[in-house]
Amino acid sequence: MNFLIDGLFQNLEPSSQFAKIPGPEKERWYTYQDVLDVSARLANVLTSRGVQPGDRVAVQVPKSIEALMLYLGTIRAGAVFLPLNTAYTPSEVEFFLTDAEPSIFVCDPHMKNDYIGLAENLGVTLDTLGVWQNPEESAGTLADDGLQASTHFQNVARKAEDLAAILYTSGTTGRSKGAMLTHENLLSNTKTLVDYWEFTEQDILLHALPIFHTHGLFVATNVVIASGASMLFFGAFDKDAILENLPRVTSLMGVPTFYTRLLNDDRLNRALVKNMRLFISGSAPLLAETHNQFGERTGHRILERYGMTETNMNTSNPYRGERIAGTVGFPLPGVEVRVTDQKTGAVLGCDKVGMVEVKGPNVFSGYWKLPEKTKEEFRSDGFFITGDLGKIDADGYLQIVGRSKDLIISGGYNIYPKEIELVLDDCENVEESAVIGVPHPDFGEAVLGIVVSKPGTDQSEETILKSIEEKLARFKQPKRLIFVDGLPRNTMGKVQKNLLREQFKAALDKS
Protein backbone atom coordinates (compact mmCIF):
# COMPACT_ATOMS: atom_id res chain seq x y z
CA MET A 1 0.00 0.00 0.00
CA ASN A 2 1.23 3.48 -0.92
CA PHE A 3 -0.50 5.53 1.79
CA LEU A 4 -0.86 8.84 -0.08
CA ILE A 5 -1.54 7.54 -3.59
CA ASP A 6 -4.05 4.93 -2.45
CA GLY A 7 -5.81 7.55 -0.34
CA LEU A 8 -5.98 10.14 -3.11
CA PHE A 9 -7.11 7.70 -5.80
CA GLN A 10 -9.56 5.55 -3.84
CA ASN A 11 -12.63 7.13 -5.48
CA LEU A 12 -11.05 7.65 -8.89
CA GLU A 13 -13.17 7.21 -12.00
CA PRO A 14 -10.68 6.65 -14.88
CA SER A 15 -12.96 7.99 -17.61
CA SER A 16 -13.68 11.25 -15.78
CA GLN A 17 -11.99 14.45 -16.84
CA PHE A 18 -9.08 15.55 -14.67
CA ALA A 19 -7.94 18.74 -16.39
CA LYS A 20 -8.27 21.00 -19.39
CA ILE A 21 -5.15 22.94 -20.29
CA PRO A 22 -5.99 26.05 -22.36
CA GLY A 23 -3.70 26.66 -25.32
CA PRO A 24 -3.29 29.26 -28.04
CA GLU A 25 -5.04 27.08 -30.61
CA LYS A 26 -6.91 24.37 -28.73
CA GLU A 27 -7.30 22.92 -25.25
CA ARG A 28 -5.55 19.76 -24.16
CA TRP A 29 -7.63 17.31 -22.14
CA TYR A 30 -6.46 14.93 -19.45
CA THR A 31 -8.66 12.18 -18.03
CA TYR A 32 -7.97 10.38 -14.78
CA GLN A 33 -6.83 7.42 -16.88
CA ASP A 34 -4.22 9.73 -18.37
CA VAL A 35 -3.16 10.62 -14.84
CA LEU A 36 -2.65 6.94 -14.04
CA ASP A 37 -0.83 6.27 -17.30
CA VAL A 38 1.50 9.27 -17.39
CA SER A 39 2.42 9.18 -13.69
CA ALA A 40 3.20 5.46 -14.16
CA ARG A 41 5.44 6.24 -17.14
CA LEU A 42 7.39 8.80 -15.11
CA ALA A 43 7.59 6.49 -12.09
CA ASN A 44 9.09 3.84 -14.36
CA VAL A 45 11.65 6.30 -15.71
CA LEU A 46 12.63 7.45 -12.21
CA THR A 47 13.22 3.89 -11.02
CA SER A 48 15.19 3.14 -14.19
CA ARG A 49 17.41 6.10 -13.27
CA GLY A 50 18.16 4.41 -9.96
CA VAL A 51 15.77 6.36 -7.74
CA GLN A 52 15.15 4.36 -4.57
CA PRO A 53 12.41 4.68 -1.92
CA GLY A 54 13.21 7.66 0.28
CA ASP A 55 15.44 9.35 -2.32
CA ARG A 56 14.81 13.02 -2.97
CA VAL A 57 13.70 14.12 -6.43
CA ALA A 58 14.42 17.85 -6.77
CA VAL A 59 12.37 19.62 -9.43
CA GLN A 60 12.58 23.13 -10.89
CA VAL A 61 10.42 23.23 -14.00
CA PRO A 62 7.75 25.60 -15.34
CA LYS A 63 4.19 24.88 -14.30
CA SER A 64 2.67 22.20 -16.49
CA ILE A 65 0.44 19.16 -16.28
CA GLU A 66 3.59 17.10 -16.86
CA ALA A 67 5.11 18.59 -13.70
CA LEU A 68 2.05 17.45 -11.75
CA MET A 69 2.44 13.97 -13.19
CA LEU A 70 6.09 13.99 -12.08
CA TYR A 71 4.94 14.77 -8.54
CA LEU A 72 2.55 11.82 -8.58
CA GLY A 73 5.12 9.60 -10.27
CA THR A 74 7.66 10.44 -7.60
CA ILE A 75 5.24 9.48 -4.83
CA ARG A 76 4.30 6.27 -6.65
CA ALA A 77 8.00 5.38 -6.85
CA GLY A 78 8.28 5.82 -3.07
CA ALA A 79 10.57 8.83 -3.39
CA VAL A 80 10.37 12.28 -1.79
CA PHE A 81 9.23 15.21 -3.95
CA LEU A 82 11.25 18.43 -3.60
CA PRO A 83 9.75 21.29 -5.67
CA LEU A 84 11.81 24.45 -6.13
CA ASN A 85 10.60 27.92 -7.01
CA THR A 86 11.15 28.52 -10.72
CA ALA A 87 12.44 32.02 -9.92
CA TYR A 88 15.42 30.69 -7.94
CA THR A 89 18.77 31.36 -9.57
CA PRO A 90 21.41 28.62 -10.00
CA SER A 91 23.28 30.21 -7.10
CA GLU A 92 20.25 29.73 -4.85
CA VAL A 93 19.49 26.23 -6.16
CA GLU A 94 23.01 25.11 -5.26
CA PHE A 95 22.17 25.29 -1.57
CA PHE A 96 19.05 23.13 -1.90
CA LEU A 97 20.87 20.47 -3.90
CA THR A 98 23.76 20.46 -1.45
CA ASP A 99 21.50 20.24 1.60
CA ALA A 100 18.86 17.79 0.36
CA GLU A 101 21.29 15.52 -1.52
CA PRO A 102 18.75 14.44 -4.14
CA SER A 103 19.51 11.48 -6.36
CA ILE A 104 18.14 13.39 -9.33
CA PHE A 105 17.52 17.03 -10.24
CA VAL A 106 14.93 17.78 -12.93
CA CYS A 107 15.12 21.20 -14.56
CA ASP A 108 13.61 23.12 -17.46
CA PRO A 109 15.18 21.91 -20.74
CA HIS A 110 16.03 25.52 -21.54
CA MET A 111 18.05 25.76 -18.31
CA LYS A 112 20.07 22.59 -18.77
CA ASN A 113 23.30 24.33 -19.72
CA ASP A 114 23.08 26.50 -16.60
CA TYR A 115 23.01 23.42 -14.37
CA ILE A 116 25.33 20.89 -16.04
CA GLY A 117 28.42 22.03 -14.13
CA LEU A 118 26.61 22.31 -10.81
CA ALA A 119 25.08 18.85 -11.11
CA GLU A 120 28.45 17.31 -12.00
CA ASN A 121 30.17 19.00 -9.07
CA LEU A 122 27.54 17.73 -6.64
CA GLY A 123 27.26 14.28 -8.16
CA VAL A 124 23.55 14.71 -8.89
CA THR A 125 21.92 13.15 -11.97
CA LEU A 126 20.57 15.97 -14.16
CA ASP A 127 17.37 15.43 -16.09
CA THR A 128 14.95 17.71 -17.92
CA LEU A 129 11.19 17.91 -18.28
CA GLY A 130 9.14 20.21 -20.47
CA VAL A 131 5.70 20.05 -22.03
CA TRP A 132 4.53 17.28 -24.38
CA GLN A 133 3.14 19.35 -27.25
CA ASN A 134 4.97 18.92 -30.52
CA PRO A 135 6.09 15.36 -31.38
CA GLU A 136 8.92 16.86 -33.46
CA GLU A 137 10.32 18.80 -30.52
CA SER A 138 11.89 17.23 -27.44
CA ALA A 139 10.18 17.95 -24.13
CA GLY A 140 13.31 16.92 -22.25
CA THR A 141 15.09 13.68 -21.50
CA LEU A 142 12.66 12.62 -18.78
CA ALA A 143 9.70 13.33 -21.05
CA ASP A 144 11.23 11.59 -24.04
CA ASP A 145 12.00 8.45 -22.06
CA GLY A 146 8.57 8.64 -20.46
CA LEU A 147 6.90 8.31 -23.85
CA GLN A 148 8.70 4.99 -24.30
CA ALA A 149 8.00 3.70 -20.79
CA SER A 150 5.21 1.37 -19.70
CA THR A 151 1.90 2.66 -18.41
CA HIS A 152 1.91 -0.10 -15.80
CA PHE A 153 3.67 0.46 -12.48
CA GLN A 154 3.37 -1.28 -9.14
CA ASN A 155 3.25 1.49 -6.56
CA VAL A 156 6.05 1.26 -4.01
CA ALA A 157 4.74 0.56 -0.52
CA ARG A 158 4.88 3.59 1.79
CA LYS A 159 3.50 3.99 5.29
CA ALA A 160 1.72 6.95 6.84
CA GLU A 161 4.88 8.15 8.58
CA ASP A 162 7.12 7.94 5.50
CA LEU A 163 8.23 11.18 3.87
CA ALA A 164 6.32 12.32 0.79
CA ALA A 165 7.82 15.76 0.25
CA ILE A 166 10.31 18.31 1.49
CA LEU A 167 9.44 21.98 1.07
CA TYR A 168 12.08 24.55 1.94
CA THR A 169 11.06 27.52 4.03
CA SER A 170 13.64 30.15 4.90
CA GLY A 171 14.39 31.50 8.36
CA THR A 172 15.42 34.92 9.57
CA THR A 173 18.95 33.64 10.04
CA GLY A 174 19.20 33.45 6.26
CA ARG A 175 19.43 29.66 6.13
CA SER A 176 16.60 27.76 4.45
CA LYS A 177 15.05 24.84 6.29
CA GLY A 178 13.52 21.78 4.67
CA ALA A 179 10.08 21.01 6.13
CA MET A 180 9.55 17.24 6.02
CA LEU A 181 5.97 16.32 5.12
CA THR A 182 4.76 12.77 5.52
CA HIS A 183 2.17 10.81 3.60
CA GLU A 184 -0.22 11.24 6.52
CA ASN A 185 0.41 15.00 6.72
CA LEU A 186 -0.71 15.44 3.12
CA LEU A 187 -3.54 12.92 2.96
CA SER A 188 -5.16 13.83 6.27
CA ASN A 189 -5.25 17.51 5.35
CA THR A 190 -6.58 16.78 1.87
CA LYS A 191 -9.47 14.67 3.13
CA THR A 192 -10.34 17.29 5.74
CA LEU A 193 -10.43 20.07 3.15
CA VAL A 194 -12.54 18.04 0.70
CA ASP A 195 -15.15 17.57 3.42
CA TYR A 196 -14.92 21.04 4.96
CA TRP A 197 -15.15 22.88 1.64
CA GLU A 198 -17.62 20.32 0.21
CA PHE A 199 -15.74 19.49 -2.98
CA THR A 200 -17.32 16.83 -5.20
CA GLU A 201 -16.84 15.34 -8.66
CA GLN A 202 -19.13 18.10 -9.93
CA ASP A 203 -16.59 20.81 -9.13
CA ILE A 204 -14.32 22.50 -11.64
CA LEU A 205 -11.42 24.42 -10.09
CA LEU A 206 -9.70 27.28 -11.87
CA HIS A 207 -6.05 26.54 -11.08
CA ALA A 208 -3.78 29.56 -11.61
CA LEU A 209 -1.39 29.09 -8.67
CA PRO A 210 2.26 28.00 -8.84
CA ILE A 211 2.85 24.34 -8.00
CA PHE A 212 6.13 24.64 -6.13
CA HIS A 213 4.51 25.32 -2.77
CA THR A 214 1.75 24.00 -0.51
CA HIS A 215 -1.12 26.12 -1.82
CA GLY A 216 -0.99 25.24 -5.51
CA LEU A 217 0.41 21.73 -5.22
CA PHE A 218 -0.95 20.07 -2.11
CA VAL A 219 -4.10 22.08 -1.42
CA ALA A 220 -5.45 22.72 -4.92
CA THR A 221 -4.24 19.62 -6.75
CA ASN A 222 -4.72 17.04 -4.02
CA VAL A 223 -8.21 18.31 -3.22
CA VAL A 224 -9.22 17.99 -6.89
CA ILE A 225 -7.88 14.43 -7.13
CA ALA A 226 -9.33 13.23 -3.83
CA SER A 227 -12.78 14.56 -4.69
CA GLY A 228 -12.74 13.37 -8.30
CA ALA A 229 -13.23 16.95 -9.46
CA SER A 230 -11.64 18.55 -12.50
CA MET A 231 -9.85 21.80 -13.25
CA LEU A 232 -8.92 24.39 -15.80
CA PHE A 233 -5.15 24.42 -15.51
CA PHE A 234 -3.41 27.72 -16.31
CA GLY A 235 0.35 28.24 -16.40
CA ALA A 236 0.05 31.48 -14.43
CA PHE A 237 -2.41 34.12 -13.31
CA ASP A 238 -3.64 36.04 -16.35
CA LYS A 239 -6.45 38.43 -15.47
CA ASP A 240 -8.05 38.38 -18.90
CA ALA A 241 -7.97 34.58 -19.06
CA ILE A 242 -9.36 34.29 -15.54
CA LEU A 243 -12.27 36.64 -16.30
CA GLU A 244 -12.98 34.85 -19.56
CA ASN A 245 -13.12 31.44 -17.89
CA LEU A 246 -14.87 32.16 -14.60
CA PRO A 247 -18.26 31.20 -16.11
CA ARG A 248 -16.83 27.73 -16.84
CA VAL A 249 -15.78 26.86 -13.30
CA THR A 250 -17.24 26.45 -9.81
CA SER A 251 -14.29 27.40 -7.63
CA LEU A 252 -11.11 29.47 -7.51
CA MET A 253 -8.18 29.25 -5.12
CA GLY A 254 -5.98 32.31 -5.07
CA VAL A 255 -3.82 34.74 -3.15
CA PRO A 256 -5.06 38.23 -2.21
CA THR A 257 -3.34 39.71 -5.28
CA PHE A 258 -5.70 37.68 -7.51
CA TYR A 259 -8.70 39.34 -5.95
CA THR A 260 -7.36 42.91 -5.91
CA ARG A 261 -6.55 42.63 -9.60
CA LEU A 262 -9.97 41.20 -10.46
CA LEU A 263 -11.65 44.00 -8.52
CA ASN A 264 -9.76 46.54 -10.62
CA ASP A 265 -11.59 45.31 -13.73
CA ASP A 266 -15.17 46.38 -14.48
CA ARG A 267 -15.90 43.03 -16.14
CA LEU A 268 -16.12 41.40 -12.72
CA ASN A 269 -19.80 41.35 -11.76
CA ARG A 270 -22.51 39.06 -10.42
CA ALA A 271 -23.54 37.76 -13.82
CA LEU A 272 -19.97 36.64 -14.58
CA VAL A 273 -19.72 34.49 -11.43
CA LYS A 274 -23.27 33.12 -11.29
CA ASN A 275 -21.97 29.55 -11.66
CA MET A 276 -19.33 29.94 -8.96
CA ARG A 277 -19.65 28.04 -5.70
CA LEU A 278 -16.54 29.09 -3.81
CA PHE A 279 -13.73 31.65 -3.82
CA ILE A 280 -10.82 30.78 -1.49
CA SER A 281 -7.91 33.02 -0.48
CA GLY A 282 -4.71 32.21 1.38
CA SER A 283 -0.89 32.43 1.52
CA ALA A 284 -1.07 36.05 2.71
CA PRO A 285 -3.50 38.19 4.72
CA LEU A 286 -6.58 39.37 2.82
CA LEU A 287 -7.47 42.96 3.58
CA ALA A 288 -10.94 43.40 5.07
CA GLU A 289 -11.52 46.09 2.44
CA THR A 290 -10.85 43.60 -0.36
CA HIS A 291 -13.13 41.05 1.30
CA ASN A 292 -15.99 43.52 1.58
CA GLN A 293 -15.59 45.02 -1.90
CA PHE A 294 -15.56 41.57 -3.48
CA GLY A 295 -18.73 40.62 -1.63
CA GLU A 296 -20.52 43.76 -2.74
CA ARG A 297 -19.45 43.35 -6.36
CA THR A 298 -20.08 39.63 -6.79
CA GLY A 299 -22.38 38.52 -4.00
CA HIS A 300 -19.70 36.01 -2.88
CA ARG A 301 -17.88 36.20 0.45
CA ILE A 302 -14.29 35.05 -0.05
CA LEU A 303 -13.38 32.14 2.21
CA GLU A 304 -10.06 32.91 3.89
CA ARG A 305 -8.01 30.15 5.47
CA TYR A 306 -4.68 29.91 7.30
CA GLY A 307 -1.84 27.52 6.66
CA MET A 308 1.90 27.34 6.26
CA THR A 309 4.56 25.19 4.67
CA GLU A 310 5.15 23.19 7.83
CA THR A 311 1.51 22.46 8.58
CA ASN A 312 -0.55 22.57 5.40
CA MET A 313 -3.92 24.11 6.36
CA ASN A 314 -4.73 24.84 10.01
CA THR A 315 -7.92 26.92 10.03
CA SER A 316 -10.65 28.03 7.68
CA ASN A 317 -13.65 30.28 7.66
CA PRO A 318 -16.74 28.05 7.39
CA TYR A 319 -18.24 26.94 4.11
CA ARG A 320 -21.66 27.07 5.70
CA GLY A 321 -21.63 29.91 8.16
CA GLU A 322 -20.42 33.46 8.53
CA ARG A 323 -17.11 34.32 6.92
CA ILE A 324 -15.71 37.24 8.86
CA ALA A 325 -13.37 39.67 7.11
CA GLY A 326 -9.98 39.94 8.78
CA THR A 327 -10.15 36.46 10.31
CA VAL A 328 -8.99 33.05 9.18
CA GLY A 329 -11.85 31.17 10.78
CA PHE A 330 -11.88 28.11 13.01
CA PRO A 331 -9.47 25.21 13.52
CA LEU A 332 -10.10 22.51 10.92
CA PRO A 333 -11.51 19.20 12.20
CA GLY A 334 -8.72 17.23 13.87
CA VAL A 335 -6.50 20.31 14.27
CA GLU A 336 -5.92 22.05 17.59
CA VAL A 337 -5.04 25.75 17.68
CA ARG A 338 -4.12 27.80 20.72
CA VAL A 339 -2.63 31.22 21.48
CA THR A 340 0.11 31.41 24.09
CA ASP A 341 2.19 33.96 25.93
CA GLN A 342 5.46 34.43 24.02
CA LYS A 343 7.60 34.40 27.15
CA THR A 344 5.93 31.85 29.41
CA GLY A 345 4.08 29.61 26.95
CA ALA A 346 0.91 29.90 29.04
CA VAL A 347 -2.33 29.53 27.09
CA LEU A 348 -4.08 32.89 26.73
CA GLY A 349 -7.75 33.65 26.91
CA CYS A 350 -10.22 35.29 24.55
CA ASP A 351 -8.95 38.26 22.50
CA LYS A 352 -5.45 38.11 24.01
CA VAL A 353 -2.67 38.48 21.42
CA GLY A 354 0.07 35.88 21.56
CA MET A 355 1.90 33.14 19.70
CA VAL A 356 -0.22 30.88 17.49
CA GLU A 357 0.52 27.20 18.07
CA VAL A 358 -0.99 24.21 16.26
CA LYS A 359 -1.17 20.45 16.67
CA GLY A 360 -2.63 17.74 14.46
CA PRO A 361 -1.95 15.10 11.79
CA ASN A 362 -1.26 17.94 9.34
CA VAL A 363 1.83 19.16 11.20
CA PHE A 364 5.18 18.25 9.63
CA SER A 365 7.61 15.76 11.18
CA GLY A 366 10.51 18.20 11.48
CA TYR A 367 13.23 20.08 9.62
CA TRP A 368 15.52 18.11 7.34
CA LYS A 369 18.87 17.41 9.06
CA LEU A 370 18.10 19.98 11.78
CA PRO A 371 17.01 17.99 14.86
CA GLU A 372 17.92 20.75 17.32
CA LYS A 373 15.98 23.37 15.34
CA THR A 374 13.03 20.98 15.18
CA LYS A 375 13.13 20.51 18.95
CA GLU A 376 13.13 24.28 19.49
CA GLU A 377 9.98 24.74 17.41
CA PHE A 378 7.83 22.20 19.28
CA ARG A 379 6.38 22.34 22.79
CA SER A 380 6.75 19.29 25.00
CA ASP A 381 3.07 18.45 24.42
CA GLY A 382 3.51 18.35 20.63
CA PHE A 383 2.26 21.81 19.66
CA PHE A 384 4.18 23.52 16.84
CA ILE A 385 5.16 27.15 17.44
CA THR A 386 4.18 28.87 14.18
CA GLY A 387 5.94 32.20 14.71
CA ASP A 388 2.69 34.02 13.91
CA LEU A 389 0.96 36.30 16.37
CA GLY A 390 -2.80 36.09 16.69
CA LYS A 391 -5.86 36.09 18.88
CA ILE A 392 -9.05 34.06 19.14
CA ASP A 393 -12.29 35.97 19.64
CA ALA A 394 -15.31 35.01 21.75
CA ASP A 395 -16.88 33.16 18.81
CA GLY A 396 -13.75 31.09 18.18
CA TYR A 397 -12.50 32.89 15.05
CA LEU A 398 -8.73 33.20 14.76
CA GLN A 399 -7.22 36.49 13.65
CA ILE A 400 -3.57 36.72 12.60
CA VAL A 401 -2.31 40.11 13.74
CA GLY A 402 1.37 39.97 12.88
CA ARG A 403 4.53 37.91 12.75
CA SER A 404 7.02 37.43 15.51
CA LYS A 405 9.80 37.40 12.95
CA ASP A 406 10.35 39.87 10.17
CA LEU A 407 8.81 37.73 7.48
CA ILE A 408 7.58 39.62 4.42
CA ILE A 409 4.69 38.14 2.43
CA SER A 410 4.50 39.65 -1.04
CA GLY A 411 1.93 38.39 -3.53
CA GLY A 412 1.65 35.17 -1.54
CA TYR A 413 5.41 34.49 -1.45
CA ASN A 414 7.36 34.31 1.79
CA ILE A 415 10.43 36.56 1.79
CA TYR A 416 12.98 36.62 4.57
CA PRO A 417 14.88 39.91 5.08
CA LYS A 418 18.14 38.41 6.34
CA GLU A 419 18.80 36.63 3.05
CA ILE A 420 18.42 39.89 1.11
CA GLU A 421 20.46 41.86 3.65
CA LEU A 422 23.37 39.46 3.24
CA VAL A 423 23.36 40.09 -0.51
CA LEU A 424 23.07 43.87 -0.12
CA ASP A 425 25.81 43.99 2.51
CA ASP A 426 28.10 42.18 0.11
CA CYS A 427 27.73 44.95 -2.49
CA GLU A 428 30.64 47.30 -3.02
CA ASN A 429 30.54 50.44 -0.84
CA VAL A 430 27.59 49.21 1.25
CA GLU A 431 28.28 49.57 4.97
CA GLU A 432 25.10 47.83 6.14
CA SER A 433 21.49 47.37 5.24
CA ALA A 434 18.07 46.60 6.68
CA VAL A 435 15.26 45.04 4.66
CA ILE A 436 11.63 45.57 5.62
CA GLY A 437 8.19 44.93 4.21
CA VAL A 438 5.99 47.93 3.53
CA PRO A 439 2.45 48.24 2.13
CA HIS A 440 2.09 47.84 -1.63
CA PRO A 441 -1.13 48.51 -3.58
CA ASP A 442 -0.90 45.33 -5.65
CA PHE A 443 1.18 42.79 -3.74
CA GLY A 444 -0.13 43.71 -0.29
CA GLU A 445 3.41 43.99 0.97
CA ALA A 446 6.69 44.47 -0.87
CA VAL A 447 10.43 44.60 -0.18
CA LEU A 448 12.13 47.88 0.69
CA GLY A 449 15.87 48.07 1.24
CA ILE A 450 17.37 50.64 3.63
CA VAL A 451 21.05 51.12 2.84
CA VAL A 452 23.94 52.83 4.64
CA SER A 453 26.86 53.62 2.35
CA LYS A 454 30.47 53.37 3.42
CA PRO A 455 31.92 56.76 4.46
CA GLY A 456 33.12 58.90 1.57
CA THR A 457 31.41 56.82 -1.13
CA ASP A 458 28.57 57.63 -3.47
CA GLN A 459 26.45 55.15 -5.39
CA SER A 460 23.13 54.87 -7.13
CA GLU A 461 20.06 52.78 -6.44
CA GLU A 462 20.13 51.50 -10.02
CA THR A 463 23.72 50.23 -9.71
CA ILE A 464 23.03 48.18 -6.60
CA LEU A 465 19.76 46.72 -7.88
CA LYS A 466 21.48 45.71 -11.10
CA SER A 467 24.30 44.02 -9.21
CA ILE A 468 21.95 41.72 -7.25
CA GLU A 469 19.72 40.59 -10.13
CA GLU A 470 21.60 37.32 -10.60
CA LYS A 471 21.77 36.57 -6.87
CA LEU A 472 18.13 36.82 -5.90
CA ALA A 473 14.88 35.60 -7.40
CA ARG A 474 12.90 38.48 -8.84
CA PHE A 475 10.18 38.36 -6.19
CA LYS A 476 12.83 38.88 -3.48
CA GLN A 477 14.47 41.90 -5.09
CA PRO A 478 13.71 45.25 -3.38
CA LYS A 479 11.20 47.46 -5.15
CA ARG A 480 13.21 50.43 -3.95
CA LEU A 481 16.37 51.30 -2.06
CA ILE A 482 16.49 54.22 0.34
CA PHE A 483 19.85 55.60 1.47
CA VAL A 484 20.23 56.75 5.07
CA ASP A 485 23.11 57.93 7.26
CA GLY A 486 22.55 55.25 9.88
CA LEU A 487 20.09 52.60 11.13
CA PRO A 488 18.11 53.11 14.35
CA ARG A 489 19.22 50.77 17.15
CA ASN A 490 18.15 49.97 20.70
CA THR A 491 20.48 49.85 23.68
CA MET A 492 21.48 46.28 22.79
CA GLY A 493 22.52 47.34 19.30
CA LYS A 494 19.63 45.63 17.52
CA VAL A 495 18.22 47.45 14.51
CA GLN A 496 14.72 48.72 15.30
CA LYS A 497 12.87 47.70 12.18
CA ASN A 498 9.56 48.75 13.65
CA LEU A 499 10.78 52.37 13.46
CA LEU A 500 11.88 51.89 9.85
CA ARG A 501 8.52 50.38 8.89
CA GLU A 502 6.73 53.34 10.41
CA GLN A 503 9.04 55.89 8.83
CA PHE A 504 8.89 54.43 5.31
CA LYS A 505 5.41 52.89 5.29
CA ALA A 506 4.33 55.12 2.38
CA ALA A 507 7.48 54.59 0.31
CA LEU A 508 5.75 52.42 -2.28
CA ASP A 509 2.33 54.08 -2.36
CA LYS A 510 2.80 55.10 -5.99
CA SER A 511 4.67 51.98 -7.12
- Position 493 scores a pLDDT of 52
Q: Which of 489, 486, 479, 474 is nearest to 511 (CA)?
A: 479
Residue 496 to residues 33, 435, 437, 454, Cα–Cα distance (Å): 57, 11, 13, 20
Q: Which of 501, 361, 345 is nearest to 435 (CA)?
A: 501
Q: Which of 80, 71, 329 is nearest to 221 (CA)?
A: 71
pTM, two decimal places: 0.84
- Position 177 scores a pLDDT of 93
- Position 416 scores a pLDDT of 75
- Position 284 scores a pLDDT of 76
N- to C-terminal Cα separation, the chain: 53
Rg (CA), the chain: 23
Quick check: 318 and 304 in contact, CB under 8 A? no
Q: Which residues of the chain have pLDDT under 50?
A: 171-173, 491-492
- Position 339 scores a pLDDT of 97
Angular region, 493: left φ>0, alpha ψ -120 to 50, beta rest: left
Element (H, E) at 390: strand 384-392
- Position 258 scores a pLDDT of 92
370-425 tens-digit pLDDT: 999 999 999 999 999 998 888 999 999 999 876 666 778 888 887 878 788 889 98
DSSP state of 495: B
- Position 173 scores a pLDDT of 43
150-161 tens-digit pLDDT: 999 999 999 999
Residue 135 sits at the vertex; the CA angle it makes with 129 and 141, to the nearest 5 degrees, is 25
